[in-house]
Protein backbone atom coordinates (compact mmCIF):
# COMPACT_ATOMS: atom_id res chain seq x y z
CA UNK A 1 0.00 0.00 0.00
CA UNK A 2 1.23 3.45 -0.90
CA UNK A 3 1.76 6.19 1.67
CA UNK A 4 -0.25 8.69 -0.34
CA UNK A 5 -2.85 7.68 -2.89
CA UNK A 6 -4.74 10.13 -5.10
CA UNK A 7 -7.67 8.75 -7.07
CA UNK A 8 -9.54 10.84 -9.65
CA UNK A 9 -9.10 14.12 -7.76
CA UNK A 10 -11.22 16.90 -9.27
CA UNK A 11 -11.39 20.57 -8.37
CA UNK A 12 -13.11 23.47 -10.13
CA UNK A 13 -13.05 27.19 -9.51
CA UNK A 14 -16.27 28.43 -11.06
CA UNK A 15 -16.10 27.54 -14.73
CA UNK A 16 -12.42 26.61 -14.58
CA UNK A 17 -11.59 22.93 -14.10
CA UNK A 18 -8.22 23.14 -12.35
CA UNK A 19 -7.96 19.39 -11.69
CA UNK A 20 -9.79 16.91 -13.93
CA UNK A 21 -9.28 13.56 -12.28
CA UNK A 22 -5.72 13.33 -11.00
CA UNK A 23 -4.42 9.95 -9.89
CA UNK A 24 -0.97 9.00 -8.69
CA UNK A 25 0.66 7.65 -5.56
CA UNK A 26 3.71 8.23 -3.43
CA UNK A 27 5.52 5.36 -1.71
CA UNK A 28 6.91 5.78 1.80
CA UNK A 29 10.43 7.16 1.74
CA UNK A 30 10.38 8.00 -1.95
CA UNK A 31 10.86 11.30 -3.75
CA UNK A 32 8.33 12.22 -6.41
CA UNK A 33 9.01 15.14 -8.71
CA UNK A 34 5.84 16.92 -9.77
CA UNK A 35 6.37 19.03 -12.86
CA UNK A 36 4.22 20.91 -15.34
CA UNK A 37 3.76 24.29 -16.94
CA UNK A 38 2.36 27.29 -15.10
CA UNK A 39 -1.34 26.73 -14.55
CA UNK A 40 -1.09 22.95 -14.95
CA UNK A 41 -2.60 22.56 -11.49
CA UNK A 42 0.44 21.65 -9.38
CA UNK A 43 -0.10 24.09 -6.55
CA UNK A 44 -3.86 23.56 -6.56
CA UNK A 45 -3.29 19.81 -6.31
CA UNK A 46 -0.94 20.21 -3.35
CA UNK A 47 -3.41 22.49 -1.59
CA UNK A 48 -6.08 19.80 -1.92
CA UNK A 49 -3.71 17.37 -0.21
CA UNK A 50 -2.98 19.75 2.66
CA UNK A 51 -6.68 20.52 3.12
CA UNK A 52 -6.50 24.19 2.16
CA UNK A 53 -8.89 23.43 -0.75
CA UNK A 54 -11.81 21.00 -0.51
CA UNK A 55 -12.00 18.70 -3.55
CA UNK A 56 -15.09 18.28 -5.73
CA UNK A 57 -14.55 14.60 -6.49
CA UNK A 58 -12.21 11.64 -6.07
CA UNK A 59 -10.36 10.47 -3.00
CA UNK A 60 -7.09 11.19 -1.25
CA UNK A 61 -5.84 8.49 1.10
CA UNK A 62 -2.85 8.82 3.38
CA UNK A 63 -1.51 6.01 5.52
CA UNK A 64 -4.67 4.03 4.74
CA UNK A 65 -7.16 6.71 5.81
CA UNK A 66 -9.08 9.20 3.68
CA UNK A 67 -8.15 12.84 4.06
CA UNK A 68 -11.42 14.09 2.60
CA UNK A 69 -13.16 16.59 4.86
CA UNK A 70 -10.20 17.04 7.19
CA UNK A 71 -8.93 20.51 7.91
CA UNK A 72 -5.30 21.59 7.42
CA UNK A 73 -4.53 21.18 11.13
CA UNK A 74 -5.74 17.56 11.17
CA UNK A 75 -3.80 16.77 8.00
CA UNK A 76 -0.60 18.19 9.51
CA UNK A 77 -1.18 16.04 12.57
CA UNK A 78 -1.59 13.01 10.28
CA UNK A 79 2.01 13.62 9.10
CA UNK A 80 1.87 15.80 5.98
CA UNK A 81 3.83 19.04 5.98
CA UNK A 82 4.14 21.48 3.13
CA UNK A 83 6.71 24.16 2.45
CA UNK A 84 4.75 26.72 0.50
CA UNK A 85 6.24 28.74 -2.31
CA UNK A 86 5.42 31.97 -0.45
CA UNK A 87 6.71 30.20 2.72
CA UNK A 88 3.46 30.94 4.65
CA UNK A 89 5.23 32.81 7.43
CA UNK A 90 3.81 35.32 9.89
CA UNK A 91 6.46 37.95 9.26
CA UNK A 92 5.69 40.11 12.30
CA UNK A 93 6.25 37.20 14.67
CA UNK A 94 9.54 35.71 15.76
CA UNK A 95 11.22 32.62 14.34
CA UNK A 96 10.17 30.34 17.20
CA UNK A 97 6.53 31.42 16.92
CA UNK A 98 6.60 30.58 13.22
CA UNK A 99 8.18 27.18 13.71
CA UNK A 100 5.47 26.33 16.24
CA UNK A 101 2.65 28.10 14.39
CA UNK A 102 -0.49 26.00 14.82
CA UNK A 103 1.25 23.75 17.36
CA UNK A 104 2.24 26.14 20.10
CA UNK A 105 3.64 24.65 23.28
CA UNK A 106 1.71 25.70 26.35
CA UNK A 107 2.15 25.55 30.09
CA UNK A 108 -0.66 25.63 32.59
CA UNK A 109 -0.88 28.78 34.69
CA UNK A 110 -3.81 28.75 37.13
CA UNK A 111 -5.41 26.17 34.85
CA UNK A 112 -5.02 28.38 31.78
CA UNK A 113 -2.95 27.07 28.87
CA UNK A 114 -0.51 29.92 28.23
CA UNK A 115 2.04 29.97 25.40
CA UNK A 116 5.40 28.66 26.63
CA UNK A 117 7.67 31.06 24.73
CA UNK A 118 10.79 29.97 26.58
CA UNK A 119 10.44 26.30 25.70
CA UNK A 120 9.41 27.08 22.12
CA UNK A 121 12.53 29.20 21.68
CA UNK A 122 14.78 26.52 23.14
CA UNK A 123 13.34 23.80 20.90
CA UNK A 124 13.33 26.07 17.84
CA UNK A 125 16.99 26.85 18.56
CA UNK A 126 17.79 23.14 18.65
CA UNK A 127 15.93 22.51 15.38
CA UNK A 128 17.68 25.35 13.58
CA UNK A 129 21.04 24.06 14.84
CA UNK A 130 20.26 20.50 13.68
CA UNK A 131 19.44 21.84 10.20
CA UNK A 132 22.70 23.75 10.15
CA UNK A 133 20.83 26.93 9.25
CA UNK A 134 22.38 30.27 10.10
CA UNK A 135 19.77 32.41 11.83
CA UNK A 136 20.92 35.17 14.21
CA UNK A 137 18.31 34.42 16.86
CA UNK A 138 15.03 32.52 17.10
CA UNK A 139 13.68 35.55 18.98
CA UNK A 140 14.17 37.67 15.86
CA UNK A 141 11.14 38.92 13.93
CA UNK A 142 10.91 36.70 10.82
CA UNK A 143 10.31 39.59 8.43
CA UNK A 144 13.75 40.97 9.30
CA UNK A 145 15.51 37.85 7.97
CA UNK A 146 16.89 37.38 4.47
CA UNK A 147 14.97 35.31 1.94
CA UNK A 148 17.21 32.28 2.46
CA UNK A 149 16.90 32.53 6.23
CA UNK A 150 13.12 32.80 5.97
CA UNK A 151 13.13 29.65 3.90
CA UNK A 152 15.17 27.89 6.58
CA UNK A 153 12.43 28.82 9.04
CA UNK A 154 9.75 27.33 6.77
CA UNK A 155 11.84 24.17 6.35
CA UNK A 156 12.48 23.89 10.08
CA UNK A 157 8.74 24.18 10.71
CA UNK A 158 7.99 21.39 8.25
CA UNK A 159 10.54 19.05 9.82
CA UNK A 160 10.04 19.71 13.53
CA UNK A 161 7.07 17.43 14.02
CA UNK A 162 8.31 14.17 12.43
CA UNK A 163 6.36 14.25 9.18
CA UNK A 164 5.90 11.18 6.96
CA UNK A 165 5.49 13.27 3.83
CA UNK A 166 6.93 16.70 3.03
CA UNK A 167 5.62 18.65 0.05
CA UNK A 168 7.94 21.34 -1.31
CA UNK A 169 6.55 23.91 -3.71
CA UNK A 170 9.39 25.48 -5.72
CA UNK A 171 11.82 25.38 -2.80
CA UNK A 172 14.79 26.43 -4.94
CA UNK A 173 13.17 29.13 -7.08
CA UNK A 174 14.46 32.04 -5.01
CA UNK A 175 17.81 30.62 -3.91
CA UNK A 176 21.46 31.11 -4.78
CA UNK A 177 23.31 28.13 -6.31
CA UNK A 178 24.98 27.09 -3.06
CA UNK A 179 21.65 27.19 -1.22
CA UNK A 180 20.00 25.08 -3.93
CA UNK A 181 22.50 22.29 -3.32
CA UNK A 182 21.70 22.55 0.40
CA UNK A 183 17.99 21.98 -0.27
CA UNK A 184 18.70 19.03 -2.59
CA UNK A 185 20.95 17.47 0.07
CA UNK A 186 18.15 17.97 2.56
CA UNK A 187 15.74 16.07 0.32
CA UNK A 188 18.22 13.18 0.08
CA UNK A 189 18.60 13.20 3.85
CA UNK A 190 14.84 13.07 4.35
CA UNK A 191 14.62 10.13 1.95
CA UNK A 192 17.35 8.30 3.82
CA UNK A 193 15.29 8.76 7.01
CA UNK A 194 12.27 7.20 5.31
CA UNK A 195 10.42 10.49 4.83
CA UNK A 196 8.63 10.83 1.49
CA UNK A 197 8.95 14.05 -0.49
CA UNK A 198 6.89 15.60 -3.27
CA UNK A 199 9.07 18.14 -5.03
CA UNK A 200 7.42 20.71 -7.26
CA UNK A 201 10.00 22.48 -9.39
CA UNK A 202 10.57 24.15 -12.70
CA UNK A 203 14.24 23.21 -12.50
CA UNK A 204 14.27 19.81 -14.16
CA UNK A 205 17.94 19.17 -13.34
CA UNK A 206 17.05 19.40 -9.63
CA UNK A 207 14.09 17.07 -10.11
CA UNK A 208 16.18 14.52 -12.01
CA UNK A 209 18.97 14.60 -9.44
CA UNK A 210 16.82 13.69 -6.41
CA UNK A 211 13.56 12.05 -7.54
CA UNK A 212 12.56 8.39 -7.81
CA UNK A 213 9.52 9.09 -9.96
CA UNK A 214 8.46 12.05 -12.08
CA UNK A 215 4.80 12.92 -12.51
CA UNK A 216 3.93 15.40 -15.26
CA UNK A 217 0.75 17.41 -14.87
CA UNK A 218 -0.83 19.13 -17.86
CA UNK A 219 -4.16 20.96 -17.90
CA UNK A 220 -5.26 19.33 -14.69
CA UNK A 221 -4.45 15.72 -15.56
CA UNK A 222 -1.48 13.40 -15.18
CA UNK A 223 0.07 13.13 -18.63
CA UNK A 224 3.06 11.02 -17.58
CA UNK A 225 4.12 9.08 -14.48
CA UNK A 226 7.46 7.30 -14.87
CA UNK A 227 10.37 6.10 -12.79
CA UNK A 228 13.11 8.72 -13.11
CA UNK A 229 15.57 6.17 -14.46
CA UNK A 230 13.12 5.18 -17.23
CA UNK A 231 12.55 8.66 -18.58
CA UNK A 232 14.63 11.49 -19.95
CA UNK A 233 14.83 15.24 -19.80
CA UNK A 234 13.59 15.47 -23.40
CA UNK A 235 10.64 13.20 -22.73
CA UNK A 236 9.60 15.16 -19.67
CA UNK A 237 9.91 18.49 -21.49
CA UNK A 238 7.84 17.10 -24.36
CA UNK A 239 5.12 16.04 -21.90
CA UNK A 240 5.16 19.41 -20.17
CA UNK A 241 4.72 21.40 -23.37
CA UNK A 242 2.30 18.89 -24.83
CA UNK A 243 4.34 17.56 -27.76
CA UNK A 244 3.43 14.04 -28.94
CA UNK A 245 5.04 10.97 -27.47
CA UNK A 246 6.86 10.42 -30.74
CA UNK A 247 9.11 13.34 -29.96
CA UNK A 248 10.26 11.65 -26.79
CA UNK A 249 12.37 8.59 -25.96
CA UNK B 1 22.04 41.40 7.78
CA UNK B 2 19.72 42.03 10.65
CA UNK B 3 22.49 41.37 13.17
CA UNK B 4 24.35 44.49 12.02
CA UNK B 5 21.39 46.76 12.81
CA UNK B 6 22.22 49.70 15.06
CA UNK B 7 21.85 49.09 18.81
CA UNK B 8 19.06 51.67 18.98
CA UNK B 9 17.10 49.93 16.23
CA UNK B 10 17.49 46.49 17.77
CA UNK B 11 16.55 47.78 21.19
CA UNK B 12 13.48 49.30 19.66
CA UNK B 13 12.65 46.11 17.81
CA UNK B 14 12.98 44.10 21.00
CA UNK B 15 10.81 46.58 22.83
CA UNK B 16 8.13 46.48 20.16
CA UNK B 17 8.43 42.72 19.71
CA UNK B 18 8.09 42.00 23.41
CA UNK B 19 5.34 44.17 24.79
CA UNK B 20 4.33 45.52 21.38
CA UNK B 21 3.91 48.74 23.32
CA UNK B 22 4.89 51.94 21.65
CA UNK B 23 7.23 54.22 23.53
CA UNK B 24 5.81 57.12 21.54
CA UNK B 25 2.34 56.71 23.00
CA UNK B 26 3.65 57.00 26.56
CA UNK B 27 5.61 60.10 25.58
CA UNK B 28 2.49 61.60 23.97
CA UNK B 29 0.46 60.88 27.11
CA UNK B 30 3.04 62.53 29.39
CA UNK B 31 3.57 65.56 27.14
CA UNK B 32 -0.16 66.06 26.66
CA UNK B 33 -0.77 65.76 30.43
CA UNK B 34 2.06 68.25 31.04
CA UNK B 35 0.48 70.77 28.68
CA UNK B 36 -2.95 70.36 30.29
CA UNK B 37 -1.47 70.68 33.78
CA UNK B 38 0.27 73.89 32.75
CA UNK B 39 -2.92 75.33 31.29
CA UNK B 40 -5.30 74.30 34.08
CA UNK B 41 -4.49 74.17 37.79
CA UNK B 42 -7.25 71.64 38.55
CA UNK B 43 -6.03 69.15 35.96
CA UNK B 44 -3.73 67.27 38.34
CA UNK B 45 -6.19 67.15 41.26
CA UNK B 46 -7.14 63.68 42.46
CA UNK B 47 -10.81 64.18 41.68
CA UNK B 48 -10.01 65.29 38.13
CA UNK B 49 -7.68 62.37 37.52
CA UNK B 50 -10.44 60.04 38.71
CA UNK B 51 -12.75 61.88 36.32
CA UNK B 52 -10.38 61.21 33.45
CA UNK B 53 -10.09 57.49 34.13
CA UNK B 54 -13.84 57.28 34.73
CA UNK B 55 -14.66 58.86 31.38
CA UNK B 56 -11.96 56.71 29.76
CA UNK B 57 -13.42 53.48 31.09
CA UNK B 58 -16.41 53.22 28.73
CA UNK B 59 -14.57 53.73 25.44
CA UNK B 60 -11.51 52.00 26.94
CA UNK B 61 -13.54 48.78 27.15
CA UNK B 62 -14.65 49.31 23.54
CA UNK B 63 -11.05 49.90 22.47
CA UNK B 64 -9.92 46.62 24.06
CA UNK B 65 -12.35 44.70 21.85
CA UNK B 66 -11.26 46.84 18.92
CA UNK B 67 -7.62 45.87 19.61
CA UNK B 68 -8.41 42.19 19.02
CA UNK B 69 -10.37 42.91 15.84
CA UNK B 70 -7.82 45.31 14.34
CA UNK B 71 -4.98 42.89 15.24
CA UNK B 72 -6.68 40.39 12.94
CA UNK B 73 -6.79 43.00 10.14
CA UNK B 74 -10.50 43.57 10.69
CA UNK B 75 -12.44 46.58 11.91
CA UNK B 76 -15.59 47.03 14.00
CA UNK B 77 -17.48 50.25 13.29
CA UNK B 78 -20.60 49.07 15.14
CA UNK B 79 -19.26 49.25 18.73
CA UNK B 80 -20.97 52.55 19.60
CA UNK B 81 -24.33 51.35 18.30
CA UNK B 82 -24.02 47.99 20.06
CA UNK B 83 -23.24 49.92 23.26
CA UNK B 84 -26.56 51.80 22.90
CA UNK B 85 -28.55 48.70 21.95
CA UNK B 86 -27.17 46.73 24.91
CA UNK B 87 -27.93 49.54 27.36
CA UNK B 88 -31.49 49.79 26.06
CA UNK B 89 -31.98 46.00 26.31
CA UNK B 90 -30.67 46.02 29.89
CA UNK B 91 -32.95 48.93 30.82
CA UNK B 92 -36.03 47.34 29.26
CA UNK B 93 -35.41 44.06 31.08
CA UNK B 94 -34.96 45.68 34.50
CA UNK B 95 -36.94 48.92 34.36
CA UNK B 96 -39.83 48.23 31.95
CA UNK B 97 -40.23 44.49 32.62
CA UNK B 98 -39.10 44.76 36.24
CA UNK B 99 -36.92 41.63 36.07
CA UNK B 100 -34.05 41.18 38.53
CA UNK B 101 -30.81 43.11 38.11
CA UNK B 102 -28.73 40.13 37.10
CA UNK B 103 -31.08 39.38 34.21
CA UNK B 104 -30.43 42.95 33.08
CA UNK B 105 -26.67 42.44 33.23
CA UNK B 106 -26.82 39.13 31.37
CA UNK B 107 -29.23 40.60 28.83
CA UNK B 108 -26.91 43.53 28.23
CA UNK B 109 -23.88 41.30 27.64
CA UNK B 110 -25.89 38.78 25.58
CA UNK B 111 -27.29 41.50 23.32
CA UNK B 112 -23.75 42.73 22.65
CA UNK B 113 -22.28 39.28 22.09
CA UNK B 114 -25.16 38.25 19.83
CA UNK B 115 -24.85 41.36 17.66
CA UNK B 116 -21.09 40.81 17.45
CA UNK B 117 -21.64 37.17 16.46
CA UNK B 118 -23.95 38.32 13.64
CA UNK B 119 -21.11 40.58 12.46
CA UNK B 120 -18.75 37.60 12.59
CA UNK B 121 -21.06 35.31 10.62
CA UNK B 122 -21.60 37.93 7.93
CA UNK B 123 -17.86 38.53 7.64
CA UNK B 124 -17.05 34.81 7.31
CA UNK B 125 -20.06 33.04 5.78
CA UNK B 126 -21.15 36.03 3.76
CA UNK B 127 -17.58 36.90 2.78
CA UNK B 128 -18.51 40.58 3.09
CA UNK B 129 -15.66 42.94 4.06
CA UNK B 130 -15.76 43.75 7.80
CA UNK B 131 -15.80 47.46 6.99
CA UNK B 132 -19.15 47.06 5.21
CA UNK B 133 -20.66 44.53 7.63
CA UNK B 134 -19.96 46.62 10.71
CA UNK B 135 -20.86 49.89 8.98
CA UNK B 136 -24.22 48.33 8.17
CA UNK B 137 -24.51 47.07 11.75
CA UNK B 138 -23.74 50.60 12.98
CA UNK B 139 -27.06 51.56 11.39
CA UNK B 140 -28.97 48.38 12.21
CA UNK B 141 -28.04 48.20 15.91
CA UNK B 142 -28.67 51.92 16.42
CA UNK B 143 -32.03 51.50 14.68
CA UNK B 144 -33.01 48.60 16.93
CA UNK B 145 -31.99 50.62 19.99
CA UNK B 146 -34.32 53.42 18.85
CA UNK B 147 -37.16 51.05 17.94
CA UNK B 148 -37.01 49.11 21.22
CA UNK B 149 -36.87 52.27 23.33
CA UNK B 150 -39.30 54.21 21.12
CA UNK B 151 -36.57 56.80 20.84
CA UNK B 152 -36.66 57.87 24.48
CA UNK B 153 -34.44 57.22 27.49
CA UNK B 154 -35.56 54.40 29.79
CA UNK B 155 -34.94 55.51 33.35
CA UNK B 156 -34.95 53.67 36.66
CA UNK B 157 -32.33 50.93 36.79
CA UNK B 158 -32.01 48.75 39.91
CA UNK B 159 -29.43 49.95 42.46
CA UNK B 160 -27.22 46.91 41.87
CA UNK B 161 -26.72 48.09 38.28
CA UNK B 162 -26.33 51.80 39.01
CA UNK B 163 -23.65 50.82 41.56
CA UNK B 164 -21.64 49.48 38.59
CA UNK B 165 -21.62 52.99 37.16
CA UNK B 166 -21.63 55.17 40.25
CA UNK B 167 -20.17 53.07 43.08
CA UNK B 168 -16.81 54.04 44.50
CA UNK B 169 -15.38 51.28 46.71
CA UNK B 170 -12.26 52.70 48.41
CA UNK B 171 -12.79 55.85 46.39
CA UNK B 172 -12.18 54.14 43.06
CA UNK B 173 -15.05 54.28 40.55
CA UNK B 174 -16.37 50.81 39.70
CA UNK B 175 -16.08 51.38 35.90
CA UNK B 176 -12.35 52.01 36.37
CA UNK B 177 -12.00 48.70 38.22
CA UNK B 178 -13.97 46.95 35.47
CA UNK B 179 -11.75 48.53 32.81
CA UNK B 180 -8.53 47.48 34.55
CA UNK B 181 -9.74 43.90 35.17
CA UNK B 182 -10.91 43.63 31.56
CA UNK B 183 -7.57 44.98 30.33
CA UNK B 184 -5.63 42.55 32.51
CA UNK B 185 -7.52 39.52 31.23
CA UNK B 186 -7.43 40.83 27.65
CA UNK B 187 -3.68 41.41 27.84
CA UNK B 188 -3.02 37.84 28.95
CA UNK B 189 -5.34 36.49 26.26
CA UNK B 190 -3.89 38.59 23.42
CA UNK B 191 -0.22 38.15 24.29
CA UNK B 192 -0.06 34.74 25.91
CA UNK B 193 -2.75 32.42 24.55
CA UNK B 194 -3.30 30.67 21.24
CA UNK B 195 -6.46 32.69 20.71
CA UNK B 196 -4.59 35.99 20.95
CA UNK B 197 -1.59 34.86 18.91
CA UNK B 198 -3.87 33.45 16.18
CA UNK B 199 -5.81 36.73 16.05
CA UNK B 200 -2.55 38.53 15.30
CA UNK B 201 -1.30 35.86 12.87
CA UNK B 202 -4.55 36.12 10.89
CA UNK B 203 -3.84 39.84 10.56
CA UNK B 204 -0.23 39.13 9.64
CA UNK B 205 -0.77 36.43 6.99
CA UNK B 206 -4.23 34.90 6.79
CA UNK B 207 -3.20 32.30 4.22
CA UNK B 208 -0.35 31.12 6.42
CA UNK B 209 -2.65 30.90 9.43
CA UNK B 210 -5.08 28.74 7.46
CA UNK B 211 -2.35 26.53 5.98
CA UNK B 212 -0.89 25.91 9.43
CA UNK B 213 -4.21 24.71 10.79
CA UNK B 214 -5.66 27.83 12.39
CA UNK B 215 -9.44 27.76 12.02
CA UNK B 216 -9.60 31.23 10.56
CA UNK B 217 -13.38 31.46 10.10
CA UNK B 218 -14.12 30.26 13.61
CA UNK B 219 -11.54 32.68 14.98
CA UNK B 220 -13.13 35.61 13.15
CA UNK B 221 -16.61 34.80 14.46
CA UNK B 222 -15.15 34.67 17.98
CA UNK B 223 -13.26 37.95 17.51
CA UNK B 224 -16.35 39.90 16.43
CA UNK B 225 -18.37 38.21 19.17
CA UNK B 226 -15.75 39.32 21.69
CA UNK B 227 -15.88 42.88 20.39
CA UNK B 228 -19.68 42.78 20.65
CA UNK B 229 -19.51 41.35 24.17
CA UNK B 230 -17.18 44.13 25.31
CA UNK B 231 -19.45 46.68 23.61
CA UNK B 232 -22.26 45.19 25.70
CA UNK B 233 -20.13 45.58 28.82
CA UNK B 234 -19.41 49.20 27.88
CA UNK B 235 -23.14 49.69 27.32
CA UNK B 236 -23.81 48.34 30.80
CA UNK B 237 -21.28 50.72 32.37
CA UNK B 238 -22.68 53.66 30.42
CA UNK B 239 -26.31 52.94 31.33
CA UNK B 240 -25.36 52.31 34.96
CA UNK B 241 -23.56 55.63 35.17
CA UNK B 242 -26.47 57.73 33.85
CA UNK B 243 -29.14 55.45 35.35
CA UNK B 244 -30.91 54.94 32.02
CA UNK B 245 -30.94 53.04 28.77
CA UNK B 246 -30.14 55.70 26.22
CA UNK B 247 -30.76 54.90 22.52
CA UNK B 248 -28.44 57.69 21.42
CA UNK B 249 -25.58 56.62 23.72
CA UNK B 250 -22.12 56.03 22.30
CA UNK B 251 -22.53 58.12 19.17
CA UNK B 252 -19.22 58.18 17.26
CA UNK B 253 -17.53 56.13 19.99
CA UNK B 254 -16.13 53.88 17.25
CA UNK B 255 -14.01 56.86 16.25
CA UNK B 256 -12.63 57.22 19.78
CA UNK B 257 -12.09 53.47 20.19
CA UNK B 258 -10.26 53.10 16.88
CA UNK B 259 -8.13 56.17 17.62
CA UNK B 260 -7.18 54.86 21.07
CA UNK B 261 -6.25 51.48 19.56
CA UNK B 262 -4.06 52.97 16.83
CA UNK B 263 -2.45 55.44 19.24
CA UNK B 264 -1.56 52.47 21.42
CA UNK B 265 0.55 50.92 18.68
CA UNK B 266 -1.76 48.23 17.34
CA UNK B 267 -1.03 47.91 13.63
CA UNK B 268 -3.94 49.37 11.64
CA UNK B 269 -3.41 46.67 9.02
CA UNK B 270 -3.24 43.81 11.51
CA UNK B 271 -0.53 41.49 12.71
CA UNK B 272 0.41 43.17 15.94
CA UNK B 273 -1.71 44.38 18.84
CA UNK B 274 -1.19 45.54 22.39
CA UNK B 275 -3.82 45.86 25.10
CA UNK B 276 -1.43 47.82 27.32
CA UNK B 277 -0.84 50.21 24.43
CA UNK B 278 -4.57 50.57 23.88
CA UNK B 279 -5.00 51.50 27.54
CA UNK B 280 -2.41 54.26 27.07
CA UNK B 281 -4.14 55.32 23.86
CA UNK B 282 -7.51 55.46 25.64
CA UNK B 283 -5.95 57.57 28.40
CA UNK B 284 -4.59 59.97 25.79
CA UNK B 285 -8.13 60.38 24.44
CA UNK B 286 -9.46 60.81 27.98
CA UNK B 287 -6.85 63.47 28.83
CA UNK B 288 -7.53 65.26 25.56
CA UNK B 289 -11.30 65.40 26.16
CA UNK B 290 -10.94 66.30 29.83
CA UNK B 291 -8.36 69.00 29.11
CA UNK B 292 -10.51 70.57 26.42
CA UNK B 293 -13.45 70.54 28.85
CA UNK B 294 -11.38 72.21 31.57
CA UNK B 295 -10.24 74.83 29.11
CA UNK B 296 -13.92 75.44 28.29
CA UNK B 297 -13.43 74.50 24.64
CA UNK B 298 -16.83 73.88 23.05
CA UNK B 299 -17.54 70.14 22.70
CA UNK B 300 -17.89 70.52 18.93
CA UNK B 301 -14.18 71.14 18.73
CA UNK B 302 -13.50 67.86 20.55
CA UNK B 303 -14.88 65.95 17.58
CA UNK B 304 -12.46 67.81 15.36
CA UNK B 305 -9.59 67.08 17.73
CA UNK B 306 -10.32 63.34 17.98
CA UNK B 307 -10.69 62.93 14.24
CA UNK B 308 -7.52 64.89 13.60
CA UNK B 309 -5.59 62.81 16.15
CA UNK B 310 -6.65 59.58 14.38
CA UNK B 311 -5.51 60.84 11.00
CA UNK B 312 -2.29 62.22 12.48
CA UNK B 313 -1.50 58.96 14.31
CA UNK B 314 -1.91 56.86 11.16
CA UNK B 315 0.04 59.42 9.10
CA UNK B 316 2.98 59.41 11.53
CA UNK B 317 2.93 55.61 11.56
CA UNK B 318 3.13 55.53 7.77
CA UNK B 319 6.07 57.95 7.72
CA UNK B 320 7.74 55.95 10.45
CA UNK B 321 7.30 52.58 8.78
CA UNK B 322 8.76 53.77 5.50
CA UNK B 323 12.21 53.95 7.07
CA UNK B 324 11.86 50.99 9.41
CA UNK B 325 11.13 47.30 9.40
CA UNK B 326 7.55 47.73 10.46
CA UNK B 327 5.63 46.77 7.32
| Per-residue pLDDT reduced to its tens digit, B74-102 | 999 999 999 999 999 999 999 999 999 99
Per the structure, the complete domain to which residue A34 belongs is given by 1-42+51-81
Return the DSSP state at B9: H
Is the predicted pLDDT of residue B19 greater than 70, yes or no? no
- With CA atoms as reference, the chain B residue closest to A80 would be B212
The ipTM is 0.90
State whether A30 and A88 are in the same domain.
no
Q: Is B125 exposed, middle or buried (0-12, 13-18, 19+ CB in 10 A)?
A: exposed
Instruction: Answer whether B201's CB lies under 8 Å from B214's CB.
Output: yes
Which of A160, A190, A216 is the endpoint of a domain?
Answer: A160
Of the candidates A103, A56, A98, which has an alpha carbon nearest to the alpha carbon of residue A75?
Answer: A103
State whether A76 and A90 are in the same domain.
no
Q: Where are the beta strands (DSSP E) in chain B?
A: 154-155, 244-245
Residue A56 belongs to some domain of the structure: yes
CB spacing of A115 vs B194 below 8 angstroms? yes
State whether A34 and A56 are in the same domain.
yes
State whether A12 and A74 are in the same domain.
yes
Q: How many residue pairs bridge chain A and chain B with CB atoms within 8 Å of each other?
A: 89
Instruction: Answer whether A59's CB lies under 8 Å from A25's CB.
Output: no
Looking at beta carbons, which residues of chain B come within 8 Å of A82? 211
From the CA of B297, how many Å to the nearest CA of chain A? 41
Torsion of CA B298, B301, B305, B311, to 10 degrees: 160
Residue A7 belongs to some domain of the structure: yes
Residue A185 belongs to some domain of the structure: no
Looking at beta carbons, which residues of chain B come within 8 Å of A145? 2
Q: What would the pLDDT profile of B28-54 be if each residue is shown by its tens digit?
A: 899 999 999 999 999 999 999 999 999
Q: What would the pLDDT profile of A40-74 be if each residue is shown by its tens digit?
A: 999 999 999 999 999 999 999 999 999 999 999 99
Which of A144, A160, A176 is the endpoint of a domain?
Answer: A160
Q: How many CB atoms lie within 10 A of CB A139?
A: 16
Domain total in chain A: 2
Is the predicted pLDDT of residue A248 greater than 90, yes or no? no
Q: Is B218 on the interface with A (CB under 8 A)?
A: no
Which of A101, A133, A160 is the endpoint of a domain?
Answer: A160
From the CA of A184, how many Å to the nearest CA of chain B? 24
Find the radius of gyration of the CA atoms of chain B.
20
State whether A102 and A68 are in the same domain.
no
pLDDT for the residue numbered B303: 86
State whether A156 and A113 are in the same domain.
yes
The interaxial angle of helices B79-91 and B130-149, nearest 10 deg, is 30
Q: What would the pLDDT profile of A1-47 be if each residue is shown by its tens digit?
A: 799 999 999 999 999 999 999 999 999 999 999 999 988 999 999 99
Instruction: Answer whether B109's CB lies under 8 Å from B158's CB.
Output: no
State whether A1 and A77 are in the same domain.
yes
Return the DSSP state at A141: B
Rounded to the nearest 5°, which phi and psi values hold at A193?
-90, 10
Residue A238 belongs to some domain of the structure: no
Residue A28 belongs to some domain of the structure: yes
Instruction: Answer whether B281's CB lies under 8 Å from B259's CB.
Output: yes
Instruction: Answer whether B71's CB lies under 8 Å from B203's CB.
Output: yes
State whether A91 and A115 are in the same domain.
yes
Ordered domains of chain B (ranges, CATH): 22-316 (1.10.3470)
State whether A74 and A91 are in the same domain.
no
- In terms of phi and psi (left: phi > 0; alpha: psi -120 to 50; beta: otherwise), the region of A169 is beta
The interaxial angle of helices B46-71 and B275-294, nearest 10 deg, is 140
3-state DSSP call for residue A104? coil
Q: Is A103 on the interface with B (CB under 8 A)?
A: yes
Residue A6's CATH number: 3.40.50.300
State whether A73 and A102 are in the same domain.
no
- With CA atoms as reference, the chain B residue closest to A100 would be B212
Amino acid sequence: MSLLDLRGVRKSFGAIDALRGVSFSVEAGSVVGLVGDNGAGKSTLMKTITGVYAIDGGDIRFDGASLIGRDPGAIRRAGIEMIYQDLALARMRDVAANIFLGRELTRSVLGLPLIDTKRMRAEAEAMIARLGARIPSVAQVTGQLSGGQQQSVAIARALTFNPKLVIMDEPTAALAVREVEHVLDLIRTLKSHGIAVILISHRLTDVFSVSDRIVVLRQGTVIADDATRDTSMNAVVAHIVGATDAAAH
Amino acid sequence: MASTASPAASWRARFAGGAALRLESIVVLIVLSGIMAALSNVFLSVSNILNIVLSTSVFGVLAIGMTFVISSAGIDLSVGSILALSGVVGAILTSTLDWPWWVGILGCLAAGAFTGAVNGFLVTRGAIPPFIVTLGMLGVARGFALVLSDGVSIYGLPPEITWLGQGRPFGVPVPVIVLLLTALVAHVVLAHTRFGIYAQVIGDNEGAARAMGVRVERMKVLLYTLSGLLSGLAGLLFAARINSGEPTAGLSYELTAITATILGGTNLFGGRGSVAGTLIGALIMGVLQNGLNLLAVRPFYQQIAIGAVLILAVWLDRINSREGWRR
